[in-house]
Chain A
Amino acid sequence: MDLVKKLLQGDEKSAARLISMVEEGRPEGFKAISLIYPHTGKAHVIGVTGAPGAGKSTLIGKLAMSFVSEGKKIGIIAVDPTSSKGGGALLGDRVRMREADKTGGIFIRSMAHRGYPGGIAKAAIGATYVLEGLGKDIIMVESVGAGQTEIQISALCDTVVTVVTSDYGDDIQLMKAGLIEIGDIVAVNKADKSGAEDTVRDISMHIGDRKQNGWKVPVVTVQSISGEGVEGLKNHLDAHFSFLRENTSGIQKKKERLKTMMLTLLKEEMWNTLMDKWSNTSEFQGIVGQLEDGKVDPYAAVHKASEMMFRT
């Protein structure tokens, strides 16, 4: 395949095209991924998650510059959480990565979730392989952590950074959302404002001595606009990556992540296949109609629908 060959030689246009093909769900796109996959597995894939406005994009831009100064090649995938009813999206993360956007060797791709709100775009998985095929050493994936996202972002990424701020308000809310739990590193951003140290203390207390497969989760402060603390965060990222490679628990974790990723994709595939096949049939719509008319309860409707779909 011509595009793959060009990609492996470092052609950005081919990379961009291949990512689009995966986004569009085109079979040639997935065939290309199979060809690229053997060339992957060495890059450090970093997930950056946190509430909208926490400063993820700004931080990623600064981290990218810090990695670039060491001669590393950087890929960035920014998954935008917003999307209007018609499926449109205004992808604005790139504007926050001003410096990185101007710098050679950094490939930034914005992605809408295209119908899977709350999750990293399904295509983000393929995009990380494409960017590694392009020769990137570090790939950062930005995604809000809400709903099912956290599971997916930890399945895709070697290291997850949870970005929080002290003006998030309710720390409890944060812990409830499980965002802190999925972080291998917690970055308290906007430390130029007051309250950051308190937030660090609260989160450290919440985490306690708990370890992530033997890794002690660092809680650090950063100021993503000035860049203060970003170098320190980068060192923790490097340390976590070494930790993963040097420990059996890290190798085991990678296997689990791959399995989780497969199961997530399989679930979606099964759902799509079944709905394509059944959702427009009169039989299926009849069951929905019975439910809407109050003739059956939701459990019974599900039971009927699944009997219909899985009868042999």
Chain B
Amino acid sequence: MGEQKRIKILIAKPGLDGHDRGAKVVAQALKEAGMEVIYSGLHKTIDQIINIAIQEDVDVIGLSIMSGAHIPITQKLFKRLGEEGVTDKFVFVGGVIPGKDIPRLKGIGVAGVFPGGTPLAETIEFLKNIVK
């Protein structure tokens, strides 16, 4: 009756890059797919992102990174998540991500990588599958 588990997602823009068109398109598509989406706004620090993820009790954190710093940013996120004892959230990364970096990101703990140009349906399908 309108009360049930909904997939809740934080779309976050870490660091300095100021391009959020891609992030907003993804956020909108996830909304239309029936998810509750929180958009962080630009220029968030890792700690701010974790803080939002905790307070909003999201299932998934999606990082949108266009700056090329996806490896150090993701490493730092997982380090801080571990320190904060936050272990119940999936992380995915989108943005400008060269294919060669995908295995490394997965090694850090990322559940999915969706470089720019990935069909939105693919991201949606992925999220519906991991959040049970």
A residues whose Cβ falls under 8 Å from a Cβ of B: 12-13, 15-17, 19-20, 23-25, 84, 86-92, 94-95, 98, 101-102, 107-110, 112, 114-116, 122, 272, 275-276
Is B4 in contact with A16, judged by CB distance below 8 angstroms? Answer: no
A-B contact count (CB 8 A): 85
- With A13-B86, A91-B38, A95-B41 known as contacts, the answer to whether A114 contacts B6 (CB < 8 A) is yes
- With A20-B57, A90-B28, A109-B56 known as contacts, the answer to whether A98 contacts B37 (CB < 8 A) is no
In the complex, chain A residues whose CB is within 8 Å of the CB of B27: 90
Is A84 in contact with B31, judged by CB distance below 8 angstroms? Answer: yes
In the complex, chain A residues whose CB is within 8 Å of the CB of B33: 86, 88
Query: Contact check: which of B3, B38, B54, B86 meets A24 at CB < 8 Å?
Result: B3
* Residues of B79-121 whose CB lies within 8 A of A: 85-86
Is A25 in contact with B36, judged by CB distance below 8 angstroms? Answer: no
In the complex, chain A residues whose CB is within 8 Å of the CB of B132: none
Expressed in whole angstroms, the minimum distance between the Cβ of B55 and any Cβ of chain A is: 6
* Residues of B1-42 whose CB lies within 8 A of A: 1-6, 8, 27-28, 30-41
Expressed in whole angstroms, the minimum distance between the Cβ of A27 and any Cβ of chain B is: 11
Is B32 in contact with A84, judged by CB distance below 8 angstroms? Answer: yes
- With A88-B32, A112-B36 known as contacts, the answer to whether A12 contacts B54 (CB < 8 A) is yes
Q: Once bound together, how far apart are the Cα atoms of A275 and B37, in whole Å? A: 29
Instruction: Report if B73 contacts A (CB, 8 A).
Output: no
In the complex, chain A residues whose CB is within 8 Å of the CB of B2: 87, 114-116
Is B6 in contact with A16, judged by CB distance below 8 angstroms? Answer: no
Instruction: Report if B48 contacts A (CB, 8 A).
Output: yes
Residue of B nearest to A113 (CB): B2
Is A92 in contact with B3, judged by CB distance below 8 angstroms? Answer: no
Instruction: Report if B52 contacts A (CB, 8 A).
Output: yes
Is B55 in contact with A86, judged by CB distance below 8 angstroms? Answer: no
- With A94-B38, A108-B55 known as contacts, the answer to whether A87 contacts B6 (CB < 8 A) is yes
Expressed in whole angstroms, the minimum distance between the Cβ of A292 and any Cβ of chain B is: 23
13 A-B residue pairs with Cβ-Cβ distance under 8 Å, sorted by A, are A12-B54, A16-B54, A16-B55, A20-B57, A23-B3, A84-B34, A86-B32, A86-B33, A88-B30, A94-B40, A109-B55, A110-B56, A115-B2
In the complex, chain B residues whose CB is within 8 Å of the CB of A107: 55
Is A25 in contact with B41, judged by CB distance below 8 angstroms? Answer: no
Is A95 in contact with B39, judged by CB distance below 8 angstroms? Answer: yes
Query: Contact check: which of B34, B37, B54, B85 meets A91 at CB < 8 Å?
Result: B37
Query: Contact check: which of B35, B38, B57 meets A16 at CB < 8 Å?
Result: B57
Is B36 in contact with A24, judged by CB distance below 8 angstroms? Answer: no
Query: Contact check: which of B31, B52, B57 meets A89 at CB < 8 Å?
Result: B31
